[in-house]
């Protein structure tokens, strides 16, 4: 990739997603060719001090002299397909040849790469926002590049631009004029950037929405050629493993490095913000050295409670009144008092680990030009950039970040404390930058390293009137605030919307509805985990709704539909899944079905699960899934994300649980913490509802409905309500 | 020095015989297609073939390899391997891709032995290979497709 794009960060200008905010700028790339990016129109017009130069290096598309097209991604790819999605937008408008397209992660330019779904103030990926953020800007970049290539060809051939056609990287005029993108790239770069860039009408799309399109980067993932951070190899590079305290919040009191240094291959033992690091010639030596190391920990202020104690406390507090209200409609108490029937239940959710297949890691070095370089899974791109600069003690303009694809992530690569990034930089700095250092957590470090999906308890009540109408709904959520835990200031009594999202946004029409929150203070570090608040609110609301429907004597689909008049997208998705599964039709002997519906990240997903239960063992045979995610940019990626989310969600509800005893994490590896394996994977059928709306989230929204759909089916099979996760606890 | 035959080439490795083959391949030989996921034979990311047998490289001390021919994802060839790769590409199996070297090594070994595996055969052969992205539904499809290709 052209390092010209890796200039230091510029002041965030607060981009908005609207079209008016942009003017295009283009520049000749250092290596020749055409770059297309944007600059802020208003800034230039108003003469604001952060006005960009006329041709800023804020590029999204690089057309190389050899005809290749490199898309510079503002978003991190942890497997969800964001690189492919952005490439699709560019190829659609540019008319590029897929076989010549590549995508690289871009960093260091907030105004170009700021996440527009977050207001554009920082580059980062999360909340299933890639398409929300970049739907317009990457199409516009592709279209502008195409207009400039066409204009260059029109000049060279002395023909009207309107007569030039573009197809798969080739410009043509009539039968005898023909040029590849590369032939025109340099001339195009010298042309003015079009002020108005029209985009294709949806009816003209050939790439967006094309169900036959496959991921451009899949072949490298079948040959071992796809590199991740763990595969970064630099001349003279050393490998470090971290030494973390056994209890969260403890600190190093003293250590004896001598026995570790006596291990062959160990280079040094250095201090890091969170403990120590054993640095060695290779990973195995570092691991062996760590075994020999002797450390005494100062556990003053460390969290020493076990998860059972924590959850018992939550259960007690859930039975009382909430500290704050997230939503209050009507008169809950009156409605419950006057109800003919009250349903009440408590749902309990454990801590969960992300447990991505590539354990956390990052590589840091000081390059020959003195710039600090970092390689990693840069989900919180700008935050990590700033943290690396602070840790290295240099200005952010002296830091170059290399965004690698990661082997999964599910939220764990987006930790605002920049944990593994600063650990790598600190270790390299402690060695006086004499060698590049790869900081590689082992599976055990990753499992016990904290930043989990928080544990929660929901205490729920519903009231039905004499006719079986749902008149009251109460949901009291108790658990840690992710935002507060990662350092966002949240005053006491304030609602962390992440704790209640999905509960406070219950779509069903209930006249008297209260959602309350009690935020707890626990020393176990927590974080967003694929689908975030909806991981527990989706389960609690949809499993409880099934209890309420049963008490009302109503069919779970019909009862939901009767309360969704205000939410046509929800109703359409639910109807679609009912039709796919032939809900109400015959079910094979011994099989039982459950349904659930949930909106997260602006997408609505409904699922029907078909299960059998034998001797306490739940087997999920089939899952039908309907999704409304706006325009499906890559329908096959949407399907893959739904399939994967179903497997991910199923593993969690069946057997995943991160527990602590006396403050020490009990699970150390995939033997104790058990994601789904292939023998438990159901057959999956996905239907994407047609939509003309802008794209919404895809990576996460498939997770929340799976658990309650399965739980509701298990209830039909066994009469048992699964109110404590994972199921292994209740059924084992 | 420990002599090893990796992907048909002879190597002399300067390592402690206890060092797992996984780290020899990745850190000493520079073949990084074989992945580390757990180190305790629980995830299958490190699967290589020793004389054609799928083996967990993380639990194989390099001193125990002896004269066995080591095949990694980079050197995996033959009809079954080609059919598996083509099927993986056709079905678009990988998400993050991190587990896929191991999945493909395991699937190729299965098809070398069993030309018409059932779903249950596939589940049994691949149950040791975790995929946290849960691409399992497509893995099953792709193994069946590869089997059909091999039948011709
Ligand atoms: S790394 Fe060898 S089985 Fe997981
Ligand atoms: S594709 Fe990500 S772990 Fe399998």
Q: Is the CB of B50 under 6 A from ligand 1?
A: no
Structure tokens at A247: 């209890």
* Protein residue with least CA distance to atom 3, ligand 1: B41
Q: Give the end-to-end CA distance of chain B in Å, rounded to a whole number.
A: 45
What value does the mean pLDDT take over residues A610-639? 96
State how far the Cα of A278 lies from the Cα of A295, in Å rounded to an integer.
12
State how far the Cα of A596 lies from the Cα of A704, in Å rounded to an integer.
9
- Residue B152: the pLDDT is 79
| Chain B: closest CA distance from residue A460 (Å) | 32
Q: What is the pLDDT of residues A167-179, one digit of tens each?
A: 999 999 999 999 9
Q: Which domain holds residue B127?
A: 79-151
- DSSP at A126: -
Contact (CB<8Å) A676/B100: no
Same domain, A235 and A318: no
Last residue of a domain, which of B40, B58, B75?
B75
What value does the mean pLDDT take over residues A433-440? 98
A657: left (phi over 0), alpha (psi -120 to 50) or beta: beta
| Chain B: closest CA distance from residue A99 (Å) | 14
Residue of B nearest to A84 (CA): B95
| Domain of residue A584, CATH code | 3.30.365.10
- How many C-beta atoms surround the C-beta of residue A164 within 10 A? 20
Residue A732's pLDDT band (boundaries 50, 70, 90)? low
| Domain of residue B94, CATH code | 1.10.150.120
- Residue A27: the pLDDT is 53
State how far the Cα of A299 lies from the Cα of A250, in Å rounded to an integer.
4
Same domain, A294 and A347: no
Last residue of a domain, which of B22, B42, B75?
B75
Same domain, A589 and A646: yes
8 Å CB contact between A1 and A403: no
Residue A29 pLDDT exceeds 60:
no
Same domain, B62 and B9: yes
Same domain, B89 and B141: yes
Q: What is the pLDDT of residues A196-217, one digit of tens each?
A: 899 999 999 999 999 999 999 9
Q: What is the pLDDT of residues A83-120, one digit of tens each?
A: 999 999 999 999 999 999 999 999 988 888 889 888 88
List CB contacts of A589: < 8 A, sequence separation 6 or more.
Answer: none
Query: Is there a domain that residue A51 lies in?
Result: yes
Same domain, A254 and A192: no
Q: Which domain holds residue A684?
A: 307-352+452-731
Question: CA nearest A73: which of A419, A530, A381, A385?
Answer: A381
Positions of E strands within A53-155:
59-63, 69-73, 101-105
Residue A225 pLDDT exceeds 70:
yes
Sheet of strand A592-600, all strands in order from the earlier edge strand to the far edge: A592-600, A603-614, A617-628, A683-688
Residue of A nearest to B140 (CA): A678
Same domain, B147 and B105: yes
Q: Is the CB of B41 under 6 A from ligand 1?
A: yes
| Chain B: closest CA distance from residue A233 (Å) | 8
Mean pLDDT of the residues in chain A: 91
Q: Ligand 1 centroid to A131 CA: how many Å?
A: 34
Which residues of chain A does B84 touch, with a Cβ-Cβ cutoff of 8 Å? 222
**Domain tally, chain B:** 2
State how far the Cα of A503 lies from the Cα of A533, in Å rounded to an integer.
9
Residue A33's pLDDT band (boundaries 50, 70, 90)? low
Residue A56 pLDDT exceeds 80:
no
Q: Ligand 2 centroid to A221 CA: how many Å?
A: 10
Q: Ligand 2 centroid to A20 CA: how many Å?
A: 40
- How many C-beta atoms surround the C-beta of residue A660 within 10 A? 25
What value does the mean pLDDT take over residues A645-666? 98
Which residues of chain B does A647 touch, with a Cβ-Cβ cutoff of 8 Å? 131, 133-137
Same domain, A120 and A179: yes
**Ligand 2: which of B100, B104, B105, B140 to mutate, most ligand atoms within 8 Å of CB?**
B100
ipTM of the complex model: 0.98
Of B28, B90, B123, the CB nearest to A679: B123
Burial of A376 (0-12, 13-18, 19+ CB in 10 A): buried
Same domain, B20 and B55: yes
Residue A24 pLDDT exceeds 50:
no
Residue A36's pLDDT band (boundaries 50, 70, 90)? low
Residue A693 pLDDT exceeds 90:
yes
Same domain, B64 and B83: no
Which range is most confident: A62-71, A180-189, A241-250? Answer: A241-250
Contact (CB<8Å) A79/B123: no
Helices (H), A190-338: 258-261, 283-292, 307-319, 332-337
Q: Is the CB of B42 under 6 A from ligand 1?
A: yes
Query: Is there a domain that residue A659 lies in?
Result: yes
Question: CA nearest A145: which of A191, A83, A86?
Answer: A191
Which residues of chain B does A79 touch, with a Cβ-Cβ cutoff of 8 Å? 94-98, 133
Query: Is there a domain that residue A175 lies in?
Result: yes
| Chain A: closest CA distance from residue B112 (Å) | 18
Ligand nearest to the CA of B130: 2
**Ligand 2: which of B99, B101, B106, B138 to mutate, most ligand atoms within 8 Å of CB?**
B99
What value does the mean pLDDT take over residues A318-341? 98
Same domain, B58 and B120: no
Same domain, A244 and A215: no
- Residue A126: the pLDDT is 86
Q: Is the CB of B134 under 6 A from ligand 2?
A: no
**Ligand 1: which of B38, B126, B129, B132 to mutate, most ligand atoms within 8 Å of CB?**
B38
- Residue A41: the pLDDT is 35
Residue of A nearest to B61 (CA): A284
Contact (CB<8Å) B92/A218: yes
A433: left (phi over 0), alpha (psi -120 to 50) or beta: left
Contact (CB<8Å) B135/A443: no
Same domain, A89 and A118: yes
Q: Is the CB of B136 under 6 A from ligand 2?
A: no
- Residue A37: the pLDDT is 56
Same domain, A521 and A656: yes
Contact (CB<8Å) A644/B26: no
Same domain, A500 and A414: no
A-B Cβ pairs (cutoff 8 Å, strict): 176
Q: Is the CB of B46 under 6 A from ligand 1?
A: yes
Same domain, B42 and B90: no
Q: Is the CB of B132 under 6 A from ligand 2?
A: yes
- Residue A530: the pLDDT is 97
Which residues of chain B does A645 touch, with a Cβ-Cβ cutoff of 8 Å? 134
Query: Is there a domain that residue A446 lies in?
Result: no
Residue A52's pLDDT band (boundaries 50, 70, 90)? very low
Structure tokens at A73: 């991604």
Q: Ligand 2 centroid to B140 CA: how many Å?
A: 14
Last residue of a domain, which of A206, A223, A240?
A223
Q: Which of A185-189, A443-447, A465-469, A498-502 has the lowest mean pLDDT?
A: A185-189
Atom of ligand 1 nearest to the CA of B38: 4
Which residues of chain B does A640 touch, with a Cβ-Cβ cutoff of 8 Å? 92, 95, 135, 138
Contact (CB<8Å) A681/B136: yes
Same domain, A319 and A365: no
- Residue A118: the pLDDT is 86
Structure tokens at A367: 């390059």
Cα-only R_g, chain A: 27
Q: Ligand 2 centroid to A673 CA: how many Å?
A: 17
**pTM of the model as a whole:** 0.93
Last residue of a domain, which of A223, A250, A280?
A223
- Residue A373: the pLDDT is 98
Same domain, B7 and B71: yes
Contact (CB<8Å) B92/A640: yes
Contact (CB<8Å) A283/B26: yes
Last residue of a domain, which of B39, B56, B75?
B75
Same domain, B22 and B8: yes
Residue A46 pLDDT exceeds 90:
no
Q: Give the three-state DSSP class for A119.
A: coil
Which residues of chain A does B137 touch, with a Cβ-Cβ cutoff of 8 Å? 643, 647, 681-684
Ligand nearest to the CA of B128: 1
- Residue the block writes with tokens 């890691």: A361
- Residue A114: the pLDDT is 87
Same domain, B57 and B109: no
Residue A444 pLDDT exceeds 80:
yes
Dihedral sign for Cα A626, A629, A630, A632, please: negative
**Ligand 2: which of B101, B104, B131 to mutate, most ligand atoms within 8 Å of CB?**
B131
Of A356, A648, A669, the CB nearest to B42: A669
Sequential pLDDT tens for chain B (152 residues): 999 999 999 999 999 999 999 999 999 999 999 999 999 999 999 999 999 999 999 999 999 999 999 999 999 999 999 999 999 999 999 999 999 999 999 999 999 999 999 999 999 999 999 999 999 999 999 999 999 999 97
Same domain, A328 and A205: no
Ligand nearest to the CA of B88: 2
Residue of A nearest to B33 (CA): A224
Residue A20 pLDDT exceeds 70:
no
Which residues of chain A does B124 touch, with a Cβ-Cβ cutoff of 8 Å? 679
| Domain of residue B17, CATH code | 3.10.20.30
Q: Is the CB of B58 under 6 A from ligand 1?
A: yes
List CB contacts of A719: < 8 A, sequence separation 6 or more.
Answer: none
Same domain, A114 and A148: yes
**Domain tally, chain A:** 3
Last residue of a domain, which of A223, A258, A279?
A223
Q: Is the CB of B96 under 6 A from ligand 2?
A: yes
Same domain, B57 and B16: yes
Ligand nearest to the CA of B45: 1
């Amino acid at each position: 990739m052209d390092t010209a794009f890796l200039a230091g960060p510029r002041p965030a200008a607060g981009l908005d997603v609207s079209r008016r905010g942009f003017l295009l700028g283009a520049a000749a790339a250092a290596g020749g060719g055409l770059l297309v990016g944007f600059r802020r129109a208003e800034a230039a017009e108003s003469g604001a001090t952060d006005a960009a130069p006329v041709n800023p290096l804020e590029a999204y598309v690089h057309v190389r002299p050899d005809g290749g097209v490199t898309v510079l991604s503002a978003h991190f790819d942890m497997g969800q397909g964001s690189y492919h999605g952005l490439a699709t937008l560019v190829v659609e408008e540019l008319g590029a040849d897929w076989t010549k397209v590549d995508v690289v992660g871009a960093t260091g330019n907030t105004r170009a790469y700021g996440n527009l779904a977050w207001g554009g103030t920082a580059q980062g990926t999360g909340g299933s926002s890639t398409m929300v953020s970049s739907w317009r800007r990457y199409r516009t970049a592709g279209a502008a590049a195409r207009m400039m290539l066409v204009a260059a060809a029109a000049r060279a051939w002395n023909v009207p631009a309107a007569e030039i056609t573009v197809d798969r990287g080739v410009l043509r005029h009539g039968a005898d004029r023909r040029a590849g993108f590369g032939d025109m790239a340099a001339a195009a770069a010298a042309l003015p950037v079009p002020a108005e860039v029209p985009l294709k009408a949806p009816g003209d799309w050939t790439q967006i929405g094309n169900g036959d399109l496959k991921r451009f980067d899949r072949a490298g993932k079948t040959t071992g050629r796809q590199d991740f951070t763990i595969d970064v190899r630099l001349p003279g590079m050393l490998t470090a493993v971290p030494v973390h305290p056994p209890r969260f919040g403890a600190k190093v009191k003293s250590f004896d490095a001598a026995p570790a240094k006596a291990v062959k291959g160990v280079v040094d033992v250095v201090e890091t913000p969170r403990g120590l690091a054993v640095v060695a010639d290779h990973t195995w030596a570092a691991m062996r050295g760590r075994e020999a190391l002797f450390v005494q920990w100062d556990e003053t202020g460390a969290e020493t409670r076990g998860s059972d104690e924590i959850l018992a406390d939550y259960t007690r507090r859930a039975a009382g009144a909430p500290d704050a209200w997230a939503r209050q409609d009507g008169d809950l108490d009156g409605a419950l008092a006057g109800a003919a029937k009250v349903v009440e239940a408590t749902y309990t959710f454990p801590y969960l680990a992300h447990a991505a297949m590539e354990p956390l890691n990052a590589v840091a070095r000081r390059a020959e030009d003195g710039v600090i370089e970092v390689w990693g899974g840069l989900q919180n791109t700008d935050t990590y950039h700033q943290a690396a600069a602070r840790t290295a003690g240099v200005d952010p303009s002296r830091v170059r970040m290399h965004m690698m694809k990661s082997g999964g992530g599910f939220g764990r690569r987006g930790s605002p404390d920049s944990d593994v990034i600063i650990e790598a930089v600190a270790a390299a700095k402690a060695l006086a930058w004499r060698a590049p250092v790869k900081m590689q957590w082992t599976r055990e470090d990753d499992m016990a390293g904290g930043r989990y999906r928080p544990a929660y308890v929901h205490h729920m009540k519903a009231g039905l009137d004499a006719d079986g109408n749902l008149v009251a709904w109460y949901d009291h959520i108790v658990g840690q605030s992710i935002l507060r835990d990662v350092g966002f200031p949240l005053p006491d009594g304030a609602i962390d919307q992440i704790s209640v999202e999905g509960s406070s946004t219950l779509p069903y029409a209930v006249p008297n509805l209260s959602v309350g929150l009690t935020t707890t203070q626990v020393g176990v570090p927590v974080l967003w985990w694929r689908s975030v608040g909806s991981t527990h609110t989706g389960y609690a609301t949809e499993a409880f709704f099934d209890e309420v429907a049963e008490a009302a004597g109503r069919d779970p689909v019909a009862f939901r539909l009767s309360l969704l008049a205000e939410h046509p997208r929800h109703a359409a998705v639910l109807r679609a899944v009912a039709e796919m599964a032939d809900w109400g039709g015959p079910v094979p002997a011994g099989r039982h079905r459950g349904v659930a519906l949930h909106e997260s990240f602006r997408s609505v997903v409904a699922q029907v699960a078909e299960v059998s239960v034998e001797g306490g063992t739940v087997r999920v045979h089939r899952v039908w899934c309907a999704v409304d995610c706006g325009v499906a940019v890559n329908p096959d990626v949407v399907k893959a994300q739904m399939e994967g989310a179903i497997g991910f969600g199923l593993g969690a509800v069946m057997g995943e649980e991160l527990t602590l005893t006396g403050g020490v994490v009990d699970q150390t590896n995939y033997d104790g913490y058990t994601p789904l394996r292939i023998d438990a994977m159901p057959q999956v059928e996905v239907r994407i509802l047609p939509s003309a709306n802008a794209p919404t989230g895809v990576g996460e929204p498939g997770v929340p409905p799976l658990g309650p759909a399965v739980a509701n089916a298990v209830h039909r099979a066994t009469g048992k309500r699964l109110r404590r996760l994972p199921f292994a606890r209740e059924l084992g | 020095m420990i002599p090893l035959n990796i992907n048909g080439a002879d190597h002399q490795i300067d390592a402690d015989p206890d060092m797992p083959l996984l780290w020899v391949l990745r850190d000493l030989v520079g073949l990084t297609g074989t992945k580390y996921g757990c180190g305790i034979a629980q995830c299958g990311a490190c699967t290589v073939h020793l004389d054609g047998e799928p083996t967990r490289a993380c639990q194989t001390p390099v001193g125990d390899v002896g004269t066995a021919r080591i095949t990694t994802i980079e050197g995996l060839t033959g009809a079954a391997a080609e059919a598996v790769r083509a099927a993986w590409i056709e079905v678009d199996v990988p998400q993050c891709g991190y587990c896929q070297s191991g999945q493909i090594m395991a699937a190729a070994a299965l098809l070398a032995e069993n030309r018409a595996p059932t779903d249950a055969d596939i589940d049994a052969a691949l149950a040791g290979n975790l995929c946290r992205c849960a691409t399992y539904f497509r893995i099953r499809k792709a193994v069946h497709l590869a089997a059909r290709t091999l039948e011709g």
